[in-house]
Amino acid sequence: MDKTKSFNTIFITLLTGIVLFCLVSLSVISGKINYIDNAILLSLRNTNNHSIPIGPGWLLNFMRDVSALGSVTIVVLITILTSGFLILKKEYPSLRVVLFASISGGIIELLMKGIFSRPRPHIVPHLVNVDSLSYPSGHSAISAIIYLSLIFIIFTLDIKRSIKISFLYSAIFLILLIGISRIYLGVHYPSDVLGGWALGLIWSSISVILAHNFKKG
């Protein structure tokens, strides 16, 4: 991918994230999306007992495991391991984007939660323990920020394009699955997850733009 196409892709991703985040945030503030949020959460539970999720018994444990892939512990471990590899390879511009994405992404996500101060869903019991605010979904935002930033680094490597595309699709699938798991577990409204994904698109794009600027410097 040449520089022009790369810039266009980053710009479109950034613009898409901004538009989506604004639309979802306005819907959350106005409360117009609450009915849809609650309806989706209820559709994922047994009609007679809301503490029981739909699906086979193994699905609950699967969703809990998937959800953990967007947790602070896993993200920090991935950041440390990736940073160590990039230091050994002396890929300092890529190292900067990983560190910026992970540190500033975590900060901005917490700031957004504080600004919107949306409580967690209460319409269904939570199937994992949570103790923070709801919007935007931290797991969705951070997983999108980190995994998409890592995809950028992969695309800078001298490997086959087919391998790069495979990593891209895998990352997108994982990001989507993490967000869906948070809804399934009842700890986030669907709009929380959409907002988290949008924030992830915005911040990963900013991280990539800064990485290009570091390279120019």
State how far the alpha carbon of 25 is from the alpha carbons of 17, 32, 72, 118, 160, in Å.
Answer: 12, 11, 24, 11, 39
State how far the alpha carbon of 74 is from the alpha carbons of 65, 69, 184, 201, in Å.
Answer: 11, 6, 20, 20
Q: What is the mean pLDDT of residues 15-21?
A: 96
The per-residue pLDDT for 4 is 60
Task: Give the pLDDT confidence of 90-102 residue by residue, as tens digits.
Answer: 888 788 888 888 8
Q: Are 97 and 207 a contacting pair, CB within 8 Å?
A: yes
Q: What percent of the chain has pLDDT over 70?
A: 94
DSSP summary character for residue 31 = T
Q: Give the global pTM.
A: 0.91
The per-residue pLDDT for 6 is 67
Instruction: Report how far apart the first and last C-alpha atoms of the chain are (Å, whole number).
Output: 21
Confidence of residue 27 (pLDDT cuts 50, 70, 90): very high
- Sorted by where each begins, the domain ranges of the chain are 3-46+56-216
Higher pLDDT, 102 or 121: 121
Task: Return d(Cα 99, Cα 17) in angstroms, integer.
Answer: 21
Task: Return d(Cα 131, Cα 180) in angstroms, integer.
Answer: 19
Q: What is the mean pLDDT of residues 76-88?
A: 91
Task: Give the pLDDT confidence of 192-202 residue by residue, as tens digits.
Answer: 999 999 999 99
Confidence of residue 155 (pLDDT cuts 50, 70, 90): confident
What CATH code is assigned to 3-46+56-216?
A: 1.20.144
Average predicted confidence (pLDDT) for the chain: 90
Label residues 87-117 b or e (16+ Cβ within 10 Å = b): eeeebebbbbbbbbbbeebbebbeebbeebe
Give whichever of 77-91, 145-159, 167-181, 202-216 has the largest mean pLDDT. 167-181
Task: Give the pLDDT confidence of 3-12 residue by residue, as tens digits.
Answer: 566 677 888 9
The per-residue pLDDT for 52 is 95
